[in-house]
């Protein structure tokens, strides 16, 4: 129980908190608000961990492919740290998520229970990810629990013993955290330690939540400025993986982050930035997005290709992450059902941006530079055929932006063997030798626009066929 060890160490360092006089209520939940099976309401007191253990034993072990419906909802202003540590361990051992519902408060010791939320996909071979969800109208606050001691003088031996125990516990925390940094980021850990027990640090902005790997839901997507929304999602995801403040990036507030689009549909898309991230700004932010109509679940995932080899590169993406990092959580639009997720408008905006980028792509060479290509220069789709030329049988409609693989980049096919085909091939070879010749460039452009050249490809579904060079972009 690695997670339990660091929490127990945390309790040892921060000191004990007296148990509250009234126990929390632990009851079944209908799961409607935040996808919860259980609710915990009220101050955390001695015996609550045992009661939670008993309640969890009566539930089936989580087996679903989504964390929704497998969470524990929390509403508590704190209480016994020792009980909170045990309760968090029990939740973590069951691979259950945690959630703070609308109008609920989770502070102090309750926040430690909240940090125990996690989810393990049935096919993940035991791997898990944090599953800690805060409603945008809920309250989540952290502070260092007070050290409750008698008001008397202490001997040197007592002080040295306490100091030694604290250092040993801190060393264990640091060691365990280096192995499991995704569970509690450095900045959050330091925030807990540095916030006095008489004060509270609340999770108040999008970037705080993203950086500390706290998901905020249910939130509607934004499509008012799709370029900014995609940039914000990349910044928020990267900030969470690197434990950095997203708004500190030079890309924040800048429109200079172009995206490419692929595998487009009414409810799905693949969006990739052209660099901009990680070491030397060479890593691409690659988002795979798909609508599912559930405002409490993720909308896809992001990977960062390139940059530091030892850095985290994969994270789930939630709708709140498409909003400005500095936006207060209280200003986020709440999605109270599938009809309010904004998914339809969001994906329509992505398709519009994709058409703007992909519908008028300049083809600079007769030959593709790479076997990886995309469908371009069409409104919606291109016909995949069983041979070169428009007379060949239609196999499939391949949508704009779909990624395809060219079987042989040097193998240009022509429907016929006449003078036009020979002349166009000669022009292609001559242009490759002298790319500055404007007349050759114009001849080659006419050949490509006239669908003289065809490539054999394998589309996204695995179907092999032929497409005109005009519709293939690098």
Q: What is the pTM of this model?
A: 0.83
* Domain match, 173 and 222 both: no
Measured distance CA(467)–CA(444) in Å, rounded: 18
Q: What is the model's pLDDT at position 312?
A: 64
In terms of domains, do 418 and 348 share one? no
The mean pLDDT value of the chain amounts to 85
Same domain as 342, residue 250:
yes
- What is the pLDDT at residue 15? 40
What is the distance of C-alpha 315 from the center of its chain? 4
The answer to whether residue 180 sits within a structural domain is yes
Q: Are residue 291 and residue 237 in the same domain, yes or no?
A: yes
Total domain count, the chain = 3
Any domain includes 365? no
Same structural domain for residues 137 and 99? yes
154 and 103 housed in the same domain: yes
Residues 124 and 18 in one domain: yes
**What CATH number corresponds to the domain at position 181?**
3.90.226
The H or E element containing residue 230 is helix 226-242
Q: How confident is the model at residue 162 (pLDDT cuts 50, 70, 90)?
A: low
Structural domain range at position 410: 372-473
Q: Are residues 222 and 304 in the same domain?
A: yes
The single-letter DSSP state of residue 280 is G
55 plus 189 within the same structural domain: yes
In this structure, the answer to whether residues 185 and 278 fall within a common structural domain is no
| Cα three-residue angle 435-440-443, rounded to 5 degrees | 135
**In this predicted structure, what is the pLDDT of residue 124?**
57
Q: Is the dihedral of CA 404, 407, 408, 412 positive or negative?
A: negative
Cα distance between residue 314 and residue 243, in whole Å:
14
Residue (of 262, 258, 264) closest to 284 by Cα position: 258
Question: How much is the average pLDDT of 271-298?
Answer: 89
The whole-angstrom distance between residue 306's C-alpha and the CA centroid of its chain comes to 17
Quick check: 135 pLDDT over 90? yes
Asked if residue 410 and residue 304 are part of one domain, the reply reads no
In-domain check, residue 245: yes
What are the Cα distances from residue 54, in Å, to 59, 91, 292, 384, 469? 9, 12, 34, 60, 66
Quote the pLDDT of residue 183. 75
Which of 141, 133, 106 is closest to 117 using CA atoms? 133
- At 411, which CATH number? 2.30.30.40
The answer to the question of residue 210 being in a domain is no
Asked whether residue 360 is assigned to any structural domain, the reply reads no
Give the residue from 290, 324, 355 where a domain finishes: 355
- Examine the fold and report which residue of 355, 382, 401 is the final residue of a domain before the chain moves on: 355
Contact present, 329 and 136 (Cβ < 8 Å): yes
The answer to whether residue 131 sits within a structural domain is yes
Among residues 143, 173, 203, the one where a domain terminates is: 203
Instruction: Please state the rounded mean pLDDT for residues 204-216.
Output: 97
pLDDT at residue 357 tops 90: no
Residue 393 in any domain: the answer is yes
Q: 3-class SS at 124?
A: coil
> Do 464 and 455 form a contact (C-beta atoms < 8 A)?
no
Token output for 398: 């391949």
For residue 320, the 8-state DSSP code is G
Question: Residues 332, 389: one domain?
Answer: no
Share of the chain above pLDDT 90, in %: 49
- Judge whether 54 lies within some domain: yes
Q: How far apart are CA 309 and CA 460, in angstroms?
A: 28
Q: CA-CA distances (angstroms) from residue 327 to 206, 280, 321, 341?
A: 6, 28, 10, 18
Using the predicted structure, report yes or no on whether residue 122 has a pLDDT greater than 90. no
pLDDT per residue over 148-157, tens digit each? 555 566 677 7
């Amino acid at each position: 129980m690695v997670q339990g060890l660091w929490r127990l160490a945390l309790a040892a360092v921060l000191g004990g908190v007296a148990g509250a006089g009234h126990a929390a209520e632990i009851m079944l939940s209908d799961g409607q608000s935040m996808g919860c099976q259980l609710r915990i309401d009220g101050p955390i007191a001695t015996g609550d961990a045992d009661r939670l253990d008993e309640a969890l034993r009566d539930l089936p072990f989580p087996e679903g492919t989504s964390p929704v419906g497998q969470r524990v909802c929390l509403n508590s202003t704190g209480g016994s740290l020792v009980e909170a540590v045990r309760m968090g361990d029990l939740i973590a051992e069951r691979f259950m998520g945690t959630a703070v519902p609308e109008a609920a408060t989770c502070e102090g010791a309750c926040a430690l229970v909240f940090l125990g939320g996690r989810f393990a996909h049935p096919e993940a071979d035991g791997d898990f990810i944090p599953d800690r969800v805060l409603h945008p109208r809920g309250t989540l606050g952290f502070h260092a629990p007070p050290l409750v001691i008698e008001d008397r003088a202490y001997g040197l031996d007592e002080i040295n013993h306490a100091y030694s125990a604290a250092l040993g516990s801190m060393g264990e925390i640091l060691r365990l955290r280096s192995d499991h940094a995704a569970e509690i980021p450095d900045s959050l850990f330091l925030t807990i330690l540095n916030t006095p027990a008489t004060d509270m640090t609340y999770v108040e902005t999008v970037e705080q939540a993203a950086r500390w790997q706290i998901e905020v839901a249910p939130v509607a997507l934004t499509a008012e400025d799709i370029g900014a929304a995609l940039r914000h999602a990349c910044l928020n995801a990267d900030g969470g993986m690197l434990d950095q403040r997203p708004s500190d990036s030079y890309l924040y507030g800048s429109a200079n982050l172009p995206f490419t689009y692929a595998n487009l549909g009414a409810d799905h898309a693949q969006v990739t930035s052209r660099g901009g991230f990680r070491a030397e700004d060479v890593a691409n932010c690659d988002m795979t997005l798909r609508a599912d109509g559930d405002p409490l679940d993720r909308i896809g995932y992001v990977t960062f290709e390139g940059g530091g080899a030892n850095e985290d590169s994969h994270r789930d993406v939630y709708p709140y992450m498409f909003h400005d990092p500095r936006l207060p959580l209280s200003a986020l639009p709440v999605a109270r059902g599938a009809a309010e997720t904004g998914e339809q408008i969001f994906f329509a905006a992505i398709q519009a941006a994709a058409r703007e980028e992909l519908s008028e792509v300049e083809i600079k060479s007769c030959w593709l530079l790479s076997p990886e290509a995309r469908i371009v220069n069409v409104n919606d789709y291109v016909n995949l055929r069983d041979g070169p030329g428009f007379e060949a049988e239609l196999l499939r409609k391949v949508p704009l932006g779909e990624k395809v693989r060219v079987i042989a980049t040097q193998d240009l096919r022509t429907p016929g063997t006449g003078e036009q085909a020979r002349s166009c091939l000669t022009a292609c070879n001559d242009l490759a030798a002298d790319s500055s010749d404007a007349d050759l460039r114009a001849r080659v452009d006419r050949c490509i626009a006239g669908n003289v050249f065809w490539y054999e490809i394998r589309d996204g579904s695995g179907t092999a066929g032929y497409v005109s060079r005009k519709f293939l972009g690098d």
